[in-house]
């Protein structure tokens, strides 16, 4: 698995405000979107394209356009929704599918509760969005599921990752015969005893959308 952690001061600056416990939900949502757009620039570096003939006012030339089938963007609900706008702003012709997953806070195992995706993902390049890679369980399950449906190139994008989650995802995708890339805004120090990223930013879903019981 390729891991990309872009070294960019704007990313670090925006992440600092995102982490700050004083940041309110509207500001948190705006920052998550902006960070996603910055990370999308890196994540889409190898988006599939094909040559395309055009004429400028001066001369004919060959450019490129996105290949068909178009890339599929899949936010993992709930917190991944906070990254969707930032991604499709850069990739407006992408299709969007949804996966709903919730981590059981006792066992730290992910449970899938919703799924709205094309049945056949053969030949699709997929961008999987979730702000937090903690134990890596949710992302690993999502990658496996998309690969089973035929996705042949998966890029996971998160805002923060714990080293433990990166190792777990790496181990899990090693068995797959497709390229998997992880783009993360930060590699934090560690997980704490209840599976939260340290220093992290707390519960991403709650900070985006408020606490649900």
Given the rule CB under 6 A, which residues bind ligand URA? 132, 134, 196-197, 200, 203-205
**Which residue number has the CB closest to ligand URA?**
134
Residue number, 47 or 97, with CB nearest to ligand PRP: 97
Residue 132 φ then ψ, to 5°:
-120, 125
**Sequence-ordered list of residues with C-beta below 8 angstroms from that of 121, at least 6 positions apart, any chain:** 72, 146, 149, 150, 151
Residue 187 φ then ψ, to 5°:
-110, 110
Residue number, 88 or 208, with CB nearest to ligand PRP: 208
Using CB under 6 A as the binding rule, whether residue 30 contacts ligand PRP is answered as no
Q: How far is CA 75 from CA 22, 54, 104, 105, in A?
A: 26, 34, 19, 20
Tell me how far apart the alpha carbons of residues 152 and 123 are, in angstroms, rounded to a whole number.
Answer: 6
Catalytic residue among 30, 103, 144, 149: 103
Of 102, 152, 170, 187, the residue at the interface with ligand PRP (CB under 6 A) is 102
For residue 155, is the peptide bond before it cis, meaning its omega torsion is within 30 degrees of 0?
no
Q: Which of 13-20's residues contact partners 24+ apart within 8 Å by CB, and which partners? A: 14/38, 15/159, 15/160, 15/185, 15/186, 18/159, 18/201, 19/199, 19/200, 19/201
Residue 144 site contact among ligand URA, ligand PRP, none (CB < 5 to 8 Å, cut-off depends on kind):
none
Using CB under 6 A as the binding rule, whether residue 200 contacts ligand PRP is answered as no
Smallest distance from ligand URA to CB 130, Å: 9
Residue 102 site contact among ligand PRP, ligand URA, none (CB < 5 to 8 Å, cut-off depends on kind):
ligand PRP
Smallest distance from ligand URA to CB 78, Å: 10
Quick check: is 206 catalytic?
A: yes
Size of the site for ligand PRP (CB under 6 A): 22
**Which residue number has the CB closest to ligand PRP?**
205
Which residues are catalytic, by number?
103, 107, 203, 206
């Amino acid at each position: 698995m390729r891991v990309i952690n872009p070294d960019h001061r704007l990313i670090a600056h925006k992440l600092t405000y995102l982490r700050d416990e004083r940041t309110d939900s509207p500001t948190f949502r705006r920052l998550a979107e902006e960070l996603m757009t910055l990370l999308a620039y890196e994540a889409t570096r190898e988006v599939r394209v094909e040559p395309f003939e055009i004429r400028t006012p001066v001369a004919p030339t060959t450019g490129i356009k996105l290949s068909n089938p178009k890339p599929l963007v899949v936010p993992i609900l709930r917190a991944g929704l906070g990254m969707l706008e930032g991604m499709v702003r850069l990739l407006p012709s992408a299709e969007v599918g949804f996966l709903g997953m919730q981590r059981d806070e006792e066992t730290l195992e992910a449970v899938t509760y919703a799924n709205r995706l094309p049945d056949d993902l053969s030949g699709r390049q997929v961008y999987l969005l979730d702000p937090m890679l903690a134990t890596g369980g949710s992302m690993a399950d999502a990658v496996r599921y998309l690969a089973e449906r035929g996705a042949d190139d998966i890029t996971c994008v998160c805002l923060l990752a714990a080293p433990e989650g990166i190792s777990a995802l790496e181990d899990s995708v090693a068995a797959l015969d497709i390229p998997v890339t992880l783009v993360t805004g930060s590699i934090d120090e560690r997980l704490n005893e209840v599976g939260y990223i340290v220093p992290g930013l707390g519960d991403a879903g709650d900070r985006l959308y408020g606490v649900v019981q």
